Structure 1
Amino acid sequence: MIYFIGTILFYLLGKRKFNPFSHLINITFLLYIPWLMSLTIFPIPIDSRLIQSFIETNTEARNSFIPLQTISMSISGAIEQGYFSGFIKGILGNIIMMIPLGFYLPFIKPKLNSFRNILIVGIIAATSIEITQKVISLVIGASYRSFDVDDIILNTIGVLLGSIALRFINPIVKRLKDDIEDNHSETITS
């Protein structure tokens, strides 16, 4: 809502030219962020009985600070016991949920278009999510989400894959951008 109000004010004041493609990117990115937060941070358990239940039943999330430990356990569980839901959620889910970030970054901040910059932002974003989960767990007194170094690795891979995907489909995206802007220009001139 704030984005829409700010955008309208900028146009009414003549500070900015309307760019429909840019707004499409901004709006979809603003929809992506709450979705990502709903997967990684929320819901936060605030009911004291639920928190106490986590502690008493020993169902608190387990932290993992050893690189590749959780990944290898997920892969071996999928191969040996046919436990594919853990593999899909644990490995593929952590990669897939961060692909849009790698896709959006060059649009939102063109300076971030290099592999190095995308990698750095991916590591920072993934680490921020894990640290936020750990801090919230400390505040509520129970680990409702785990801090897992493998999540940082997988999330960063997802960001990099999003950036790589954009490079492959960039000609299509540029054509779409040009079409949207041309249609908008024709609408204004007619």
Structure 2
Amino acid sequence: MVLLNGSLALAAGVVLYVLARGLYVLIHRDNVKWVKEGLQIVFVIYLLMVVSVTLFPLALWIEPDLKALKYAVNLVPLISIFHDISQIGIAYGGDSVFMMKLILRNVGGNVLMFVPLGILAPMLWPEFRRLKPILLLGVLMSIGIEFLQFFELLVSSEMGRTVDIDDVICNTAGAILGYILYRLITALANKYRIKSLQQLFIGG
């Protein structure tokens, strides 16, 4: 078995992007918008972090167990969340606090992971400054991650990967929450004429 580390993939991705984008900036330096360049670097690092968390470590050369697929795939909305809630006071020797922390970490982590998407996408691209495009982006990106995780399950079922519709729901909720935060910040920036925030969130 060979494991590809997520941190290594993250570092390699950042280096490759900086080199490629740096070359572009050198060639087109007269037309560079530095605020937008900075935001793009942040966005790329964010995407690479999501990939490193959701798809790594990547296992190679492991014999797949196709029978385990039925236990690792959930297509019924909210059932896994409600199941975990029902286990409070039962699982882990009746340790309710630990189980609640586990639920908060799983659900909250999936929500928070997509909050930056709902903030950064409209900062970079005007077409994402409406709710519907952000909603669609969040759904498609989350489904894409789940599809890749399903592919990993087909290749190797020993890494504890799961494919869960609840992850898509939580991820999408996170993107919407991020978009709401974006709208609140831009509204405050416009109301109080905070030029630095206006440039960053609207004119970047």
The TM-score range, normalised by the shorter chain, is 0.7 to 0.9
Aligned twin of 1:137: 153
Contact 2:88 2:100 in 1 (8 A): yes
Cα drift, residue 21 of structure 1: 1.6
TM-score normalised by the chain length of structure 1? 0.76
User: Closer, same or farther in 2 for the Cα pair 1:179/1:151, shift >3 Å?
Assistant: closer
Counterpart-to-counterpart distance in 1, 2:22 and 2:52 = 28
TM-score normalised by the chain length of structure 2? 0.72
- The percentage of counterpart residues that share the same residue type is 25
Contact 2:189 2:198 in 1 (8 A): no
Aligned ranges for residues 65-144 of structure 1 at < 5 Å? Answer: 65-78=75-88, 81-82=96-97, 83-140=99-156, 142=158, 144=160
Aligned twin of 1:23: 37
Paired AA for residue 109 in structure 1: W
Higher strand share: 2
Deviations 1:15-44 (A, max 9, x none): 653322212211111111111112111111
- Aligned residue pairs: how many? 174
Aligned twin of 2:171: 155
Cα drift, residue 144 of structure 1: 3.3
Aligned twin of 2:93: none
Deviations 1:101-135 (A, max 9, x none): 11111123211211111111111011001011001
User: Closer, same or farther in 2 for the Cα pair 1:61/1:93, shift >3 Å?
Assistant: farther
Q: CA RMSD in A?
A: 3.0
Cα drift, residue 63 of structure 1: 1.7
Deviations 1:120-160 (A, max 9, x none): 11110110010110012112355631110010000000011
Is there any run of 5+ residues in structure 2 with no aligned partner, and where? 1-14, 91-95
User: Closer, same or farther in 2 for the Cα pair 1:150/1:163, shift >3 Å?
Assistant: same
Paired AA for residue 196 in structure 2: L
Counterpart-to-counterpart distance in 1, 2:17 and 2:108 = 32
Aligned twin of 1:185: none
SS at match of 2:40: helix
Which stretch shifts more, 119-128 or 1-10? 1-10
Cα drift, residue 3 of structure 1: 4.1
Cα drift, residue 168 of structure 1: 0.9
